[in-house]
Amino acid sequence: MWILAVAVTFLLSWLLILPVKKLAWKIGAIDVPRDWRRMHRKPVPRAGGIAMFAALLTGCLLFCRHTPVMMAALEGGLLLMAMGLVDDIFRLPAWLKLLFQLVIAALAVGSLGRFHGVAMLFMVLWVVTLTNAHNFVDGLDGLFGGTSAIEGIALAFLLTAIGLRNAALPPLLVSAACAGFLVHNRPPARIFAGDCGSGCIGFVLGVLALPAFSQPLWQIGSLAPFLIFAYPLADMVTAVLRR
């Protein structure tokens, strides 16, 4: 069943990219290389997140148990994908995006009922940080998709190792959705994830990792998420310091 779920999610993500590319051109979700930071020379659609999230949503609803954690990840991810798409078209101010992320993260973490007080504040900051860290890492062809695919597999192994096997399939489907997108995003990229992709996938991974933090501090499960997501976290810190 898991193999079928991964295959369906991968194929959906891969196939949906084609109509999403056409949609991106129509609605103006295009990355035009206007400054030195852009690695491409021609305009490229940047709404690949629509295909990724649609494939992930379908795979999770069809094949996964509808746990509170998974539903919180999908519901919040859907809202962030919508906000990211608006940003890909109109460029929203940074403070507005951050405020929206904080509200959605607080609602997602609060809906689980597992964390309170300082712990809840930490988890909200964790989810928002991962959301933006994956946005930062989306700078080179194939980098975001490849990184997120590896993180999803690693998170699935972690959840299985700490006895949460039922929570391991959704991260695998994140990897499958990213792999399907990666077919079109490998150099030279024909489409970018955009904020609608990098932000929502980062959010989903952040929420799906929350059960690991329920483990006692002396167990590896509570610290392993920092290792799994070390690259995007370190990249975000260095990018902020550099800028």
Q: Do residues 19 and 25 lie in contact, with contact meaning Cβ atoms separated by under 8 Å?
A: no
pLDDT score recorded for residue 14:
96
End-to-end CA distance of the chain: 46
pLDDT score recorded for residue 240:
80
Q: What is the mean pLDDT of residues 112-125?
A: 90
**pLDDT tens, 187-220?**
888 899 989 999 999 999 999 999 988 766 545 6
pLDDT score recorded for residue 40:
55
Q: What is the mean pLDDT of residues 94-108?
A: 96
pLDDT of 35 above 70: no
Q: What is the mean pLDDT of residues 66-89?
A: 95
**pLDDT tens, 179-190?**
999 999 888 888
Averaging pLDDT over each range in 31-40, 69-78, 187-196, which range is the top one? 69-78
Question: Residue 45 — very low, low, confident or very high, per pLDDT cuts 50/70/90?
Answer: confident
pLDDT score recorded for residue 28:
86
Question: Residue 44 — very low, low, confident or very high, per pLDDT cuts 50/70/90?
Answer: confident
d(CA 80, CA 198): 10
pLDDT score recorded for residue 16:
95
